[in-house]
Structure 1
Amino acid sequence: MDYKDTKAAISTVTYDRNEVEAPTKNIYQAISIIAKRAEQINSDLKIELVDKLDEFATYNDSLEEVFENKEQIEVSKYYERLPKPTALAVEEWLKGKVYFRTPDSE
């Protein structure tokens, strides 16, 4: 999924409790599902960031040669400006893009 083209809030937002719990009829279950989705998003973003930063990696044993790579800094700043994984997960949840199921229901 492309997390860069999202309309998720970058800062803190207050959500309507009834809107969040509407799909499950249980606020705790809804928050648990959102939290699990946020972990998945965080994992995806971390893997993507590490892959991009590995392109700039230099394997050198000497501590004397420490230099800054502007491209690496720009990539890091870009990922820092993205919305937090929890905000992305809440946005997906409110738009109905998160699939969930309970094993005890049919």
Structure 2
Amino acid sequence: MSNNPNNKPTVAGSTVTRDLRDLDKTTDNLYESIVIMSKRANQISNNIKEELHQKLSEFASANDNLEEVFENREQIEISKHYERLPKPTLVAVQEFLENKVYFRNPNKERD
């Protein structure tokens, strides 16, 4: 995973076979690792959605008249850009494997 000039992570877009032992190295529990990655993927997804809605709202028309509905070229380009981004799950897995995700388990801290 490398960063492009826009600070957007780049991840392999194709299917990658992963060794399960790599996923549970930091937690010693595969299921805990999966939960951590899924929560991170949800965070990434929410950030992308907020960013997309923010950018699309700049081009939204004030008229809701059905006769005046037309395709805004800028909105289409923005949507296509976000469709080409890697899926949040792929980014989360890559971040987890590179130890870029902070996590803690309160149950383990009590013991």
TM-score normalised by length of structure 1? 0.92
1:23 pairs with 23, 26, 31, which one? 26
CA RMSD in angstroms, aligned pairs only: 1.6
Q: Does 1:99 align with 2:77?
A: no
Aligned partners of 1:4 and 1:82 also within 8 Å: no
Aligned counterpart, 2:66: 63
Runs of 4+ in 1 over 2 A off after TM superposition: 2-5
Aligned partners of 1:20 and 1:27 also within 8 Å: yes
Give the Å deviation of 1:89: 0.2
Cα distance between partner residues in 1 of 2:94 and 2:11: 6
CA gap 1:78/1:4 in 2 versus in 1, 3 angstroms = farther
Identity across matched positions, percent: 55
Aligned counterpart, 2:44: 41
Higher relative contact order (CA 8 A, sep 6+): 1
Give the Å deviation of 1:8: 1.4
TM-score normalised by length of structure 2? 0.88
Structure 1, gaps ≥5 residues long: none
